[in-house]
A and B are shown apart, each in its own frame.
Chain A
Amino acid sequence: MRKCYIKIFTIILMLIIAVTPLNVMAVEGTMGYAGGISVEDPIEKSEYEYTEMCFLTGVPVKLTGTLTIKKTDKNDVVTSTYTYKLANTESDITMNRVVIYTTTRETKLNGQITESTKLSRTPTEVINVGGKTFRLIESGFTQSMITDPKAAINFHTGEFSEKKVYAIGTDLTKDRVTVTLSGRTYAYDQYWSSTETQRINVMVETDIKSTTPSVKWGGVAEIVVSSATLNQVHYAKNEPTQISFDGGYVNKKWMESTLDYTARFPEFDKNGLPTDVLKTYTDTQSLSTQMELSRLMVPDIKHLNGHWAEEPISILFGLEILPGTGSNFKVGRYLTRREFVGILMNALKDIPTDPDVRTAMVNTRRTSSKKAPEISPFKDIEPGDFYYEEIKKAYQKGITKGNGNGNFGPNEYITNAEAIKMIVSALGLENLAPYPSTTTPFVDNDSIPTYARNSASVASVLGIIEPDYMGRFNPSNRLTNENAANLIFDLINYMGDELIKDYRDRMIDF
């Protein structure tokens, strides 16, 4: 009988070790750490189309092929297997590489997550260049990373260092190439776009002892690789006039990766020996996936045809950020704090999860079938109230703390100052201006409440808000429906379009 219970318990335990997605980064790690770029294969799961530059011969050669990533997460220890199969048929080069990393995660008191990655075992790597074999015989890798999870965005930054020694040919003791890589990673994850950019310095040192005299040469490369997922909305006008709706919006989603390098290697003479003249090679490679198109609902806002805020209102209804179909949308109507938080939380959406991670979670604690009573974070809003879940979530993520007296004031009208404070808190970018005591570029700076002054300054720098025609912010003005739509639309544009420039375009350009 006892044995039978143990058996049943074991089966239940195994069932509990279910494969569930983990709410972590969506992009970070998909390019590997060898200076290559990847985009997801639309059909094969965990497989990526991959490109990297090979510098071993002293002349940059582009290798293309596939990268397969498999990750398992067991109690915050992630084992990741990266399998590369690459080739360049024109230059007669093939490469096979398998690297297994172990990453240990630790969540700190303030919610930040630190990661430490090392090799799980010695990687295997064989490169064949026109019959000449480069075999990996020594390898060392270390990586550290910190993730700062904010309400709407997870920010990541880290660094890695790798040393690889290859033996050339069959004699593993004579001819060697040592490749040293050191790089920094900057990444963020959120619904509207995700980007990871690595800036890597590569040093290649070759020591050929099999010739007389022996030959030594070295070269360097600076590589910037970046991978991004983008989510944008595009207007499509109808051609026929006799149609029930006037145009509409299409959501475009795709992934693109860019590799930009500058390498300096010796020029080689007609005998294949290095000269003292350094040649500079620069190039940019890119990969992208096919765009995924999806239509947004066409809202019923015919009463707003021609209104200056028609576009943002239409898009927000289409994205189901504004509730309803649009027929009841009234311009000039003041928005309550409850409504604004509901709309804001709809716009921020959940941060996507890493598709390559499989999580094994062992739950040994017995859970009671009785559900604990729900406790509202605020005295003046109850579970089941309209937008209760959104307000609770906003409180848990630190977007709002209420009115300071335990109340949220759900039915009070929201002001510009309150709204901008919530938006900047959601982005987690308060430290871009002196906190909390900055000044703002608005002429009515002194009228801005202290709690919102920093947020107003940051939002102005980020381009989310602009002064009115008199240069004012008007902190006490109540937010109208259409102004809120404009503000949320600018927030989405910032998250989808502007943030990516800071992490990718500008890092490549400068």
Chain B
Amino acid sequence: MRSKKAVLILALILTLSILPGYGSGNYTFADTYKPGQVEEEGHFSGVVKENNPSLGYITLYFEDGSGVNPDQFERLVSLRNFTYGYEIPVLRDGYEVSVDNIKPGDMAFIKLDKDGYIEKISVKSYYETVYGTVYSKRATWLVLKKDDGTYVNYPLSSTLPVYKHNRPGTVSDIVVGDRVRVLVQTNGANIDIAGIDIEKRTRPVTGIYRGNVEFFDSINTSIAVSRVEQFINGRWEATSNMGIQRFMYNSDYKEMPPRRPAGMVYFATQKAYDGIDKVVTASFRGTSGYEVTTKDNLLSMTDGGLLELEYSSDIIGFDKDTIAIKDGRLVDVSALNTLDSLAISMEKSLYENKYTANVIVSESDYQNSLVLYRGRIKNIEPLKTVTVESFVQLNQVSWEFTNTPKTFDIDLASSRLIEADGVGNIRNFDSAYINQTVYIVAEGSKIHLISTAPYANEPVMGRVASLTKESGENIDGAEETVTTSIIKLTEARIYNDENYVWEGSPDLSVTIPFNSVVIKNGIIGTTSLIKPGDEVRIIRHSQSGEGIIVLCQ
């Protein structure tokens, strides 16, 4: 009896050893049904551990999810390795895909043929959604600061799908400080990123402020601050609010102030999901030393927390409480690059000759491709082109004359007509306008704006102190009231074109009519684009004094 058993075991071992080994499938199935067989053979499922399209095999973890432990490797290879040819049907999340789209971490369902090769396979992905803010980004990786405050590193490649506002973009669209959503499937050391979504509307930092802490309201998580000043264009400016202002904390900003907050607080605000400006970072500096502001370029940065500036050659320290803003986004100081232009607010130590930055703001130069022309209309091809006889083109503060005709293209979707009494309709822009002299703002030959405003030739520059709008005529049915604005300038200067010098003219007021041309950061708009603190260049009408062209720098 015993010898029979031994023979049987020996036969079984021999059979197993003859079976095709690794690489050609470990399972074969009989063509005929066994007695009492109620289930088809060859069905397997499990989480994908490895997919190797070059060698044509896929390895699954065991059905119960075990098989991670290295000592299970041999068993896993012998029992859960399945081979496939090139042309097998593969479904992933219901879509037909090629076999190399199967990723570790996918849940796979496999059907083997009678020879033990994969006949068909379908998988489901289990991507995890990770939300966070881009902390730093290089060519091949990015570091994300997750919403829970931890950091995670993800690989980047040029083929990685990136979306902004649900439209395809590229990896270069991801900017440090952006909030992103990463669809990632992680299994062991394998990381597969299905895509990165950049938030649909970038919520820039809406203000950088400082003031004296009055109290912190822990019930409503808000801070009351007196003598509030806003950091605009590298200077601290008083805000329009008098007395004490209350600022709510953003619910994601968990860092509470020190137990007894007092002295100076520097903070930045951002629009929260509910549309309200809320504090997203705050640094409590206590007693203030001697403070200065400067504008310069970054020459170098050391790991020891020092910035070297290009023009002044000053060395400035920074610490963990330094608030750094780059292109409107709250970033780590390390996100600043060499030759970035910086506006810095810094404080001198009370005990040594050392400056520490409280606030660093870096704004990239905007590449303005808009050109402003003025000319008399010679011909109009309705809805298509406008030709001027000759024209002048604005260059800095002067008009350059060209004695040749120039034709501009009308783009119905973007070409606007602004007249003294309101918005005109480019569909009605016909031969009636021939011989009128107009301003044309164009990008290449494409018209963005045609304005009938009068000729302006007197350049003025200064810093906007205030902007008031005078209610004007509200034309029935028109979408907006035709208003005139008055800009009050400080440090104003008027260009003397006889002596070619800027002459000081403190506290100048300029009236801006409705059909003036206002351009800020490459955007053509109305005076609502202009904010106190902006540095502007205005070309005035020499007799009426009205500002016809307003360029925000």
Residues of B close to A510: CB separation below 8 A: 181, 197, 199-200
Complex CA–CA separation, A495 to B197 (angstroms): 25
Q: Which of A240-296 contact B (CB under 8 A)?
A: 250, 252, 256, 258, 260, 262, 267-273, 275-278, 282-286, 288, 291, 293
Q: How far is the CA of A388 from the CA of B274 in the complex (A)?
A: 45
Binary interface profile of A, 431-451, with partner B (CB < 8 Å = 1, else 0)? Answer: 011101111110101101010
Of A71-79, A148-156, A500-508, the one contacting chain B is A500-508
Which residues of the partner chain A approach B426 to less than 8 Å between Cβ atoms? 275-277
B499 at the interface (CB under 8 A from A): no
Contacts A269-B478, A285-B275, A440-B65 given; does A433 touch B218 at CB 8 Å: no
- Nearest A residue to B179 via CB reads A509
Contact of A438 among B47, B476, B482 (CB under 8 A): B47
| Docked-complex contact B274 and A258, CB < 8 angstroms | yes
| A268 contacts B186, C-beta separation under 8 Å | no
CA distance A445 to B66 in the complex (A): 7
Chain B residues with CB under 8 A of A501? 131, 147
Q: Contact check, B422 vs A270: say whether CB atoms are below 8 A apart.
A: yes
Residues of A within 8 A of B421 (CB): 270
- Most chain A CB atoms below 10 A, which of B412, B475, B477: B477
**Using Cβ atoms and an 8 Å threshold, which residues of chain A touch B126?**
432-434, 438
Whether, in the assembled complex, B46 has its beta carbon less than 8 Å from a beta carbon of chain A, the answer is: yes
CB-based contact B427/A276 at 8 Å: yes
Kindly list chain A residues whose C-beta atoms are within 8 Å of the C-beta of B479: 58-59, 267-268, 272
B311 interface residue (CB < 8 Å to A): no
Q: Is the CB of B416 within 8 A of A434?
A: no
B68 near A508 with CB under 8 A, answer: no
In this complex, what residue of A is CB-closest to B479?
A: A268
Contact of B478 among A268, A276, A443, A505 (CB under 8 A): A268
- A434's closest neighbor in chain B, by CB? B107
Chain B residues contacting A283 (CB-CB under 8 Å) are 275
| Complex Cα gap A432–B200 (Å) | 25
Interface of B is mostly: loop
Q: Contact between B61 and A437 (Cβ–Cβ < 8 Å)?
A: yes
For chain B, residues 431 to 489, give those with C-beta under 8 angstroms from any C-beta of chain A.
Answer: 475-479, 482
For chain B residues 273-315, which have a beta carbon within 8 Å of chain A?
A: 273-276
Contact (Cβ within 8 A) A291 B46:
no
Could you say which of B186, B273, B478 contacts A284, with CB atoms under 8 Å apart? Answer: B273
A250 to B219, CA, bound (A): 9
Using a CB-CB cutoff of 8 Å, which residues 222-261 of chain B contact chain A? none
Asked if A275 and B425 make an inter-chain contact with CB atoms under 8 angstroms apart, the answer reads yes
Interface: A463 (CB within 8 A): yes
Produce 1/0 per residue, A449-486, CB < 8 A to B.
01001100000010100000000000000000000000
Q: Mark B341-381, 1 if CB is under 8 A from A, else 0.
A: 00000000000000000000000000000000000000000
User: Which of A250, A270, A272, A448 counts the most B-chain CB atoms under 10 A from its CB?
Assistant: A270
Candidates A59, A438, A505; contact of B65 at CB < 8 Å: A438
Residues from chain B with a CB closer than 8 A to the CB of A505 are: 273
Within 8 Å of chain A (Cβ to Cβ): is B20? no
Contacts of B128 in A (CB 8 A): 461
Question: A450 to chain B: which residues have CB within 8 Å?
Answer: 64-66
Q: How far is the CA of A250 from the CA of B69 in the complex (A)?
A: 47
In the complex where A276-B427, A437-B45, A509-B273 touch, is A271 in contact with B477 (Cβ < 8 A)? yes
Measured in the bound complex, the distance between the Cα atoms of B66 and A255 in whole Å is: 45
A234 contacts B by Cβ under 8 Å: yes
Cβ-neighbour of A286 out of B63, B131, B275, B478 (below 8 A): B275
Query: Within 8 Å CB of A267, what residues of B?
Result: 416, 423, 479
Among residues of B, the one whose C-beta sits closest to the C-beta of A432 is B126
Which residues of chain B have C-beta atoms less than 8 A from A278's C-beta? 413
User: How far is B275's CA from A285's CA once the two chains are assembled, in angstroms?
Assistant: 6
Selected contact of A269 from candidates B61, B66, B415, B423, CB within 8 Å? B423
- 7 smallest beta-carbon distances between A and B, as pairs: A272-B477, A284-B275, A270-B422, A286-B274, A434-B107, A276-B412, A268-B479
- CB-defined A-B contacts under 8 Å, sample of 7: A260-B275, A275-B423, A286-B274, A434-B126, A437-B64, A463-B148, A510-B200
Interface of A with B (CB < 8 Å)? 58-59, 234, 236, 250, 252, 256, 258, 260, 262, 267-273, 275-278, 282-286, 288, 291, 293, 432-434, 436-441, 443, 445-446, 448, 450, 453-454, 461, 463, 501, 504-506, 508-510
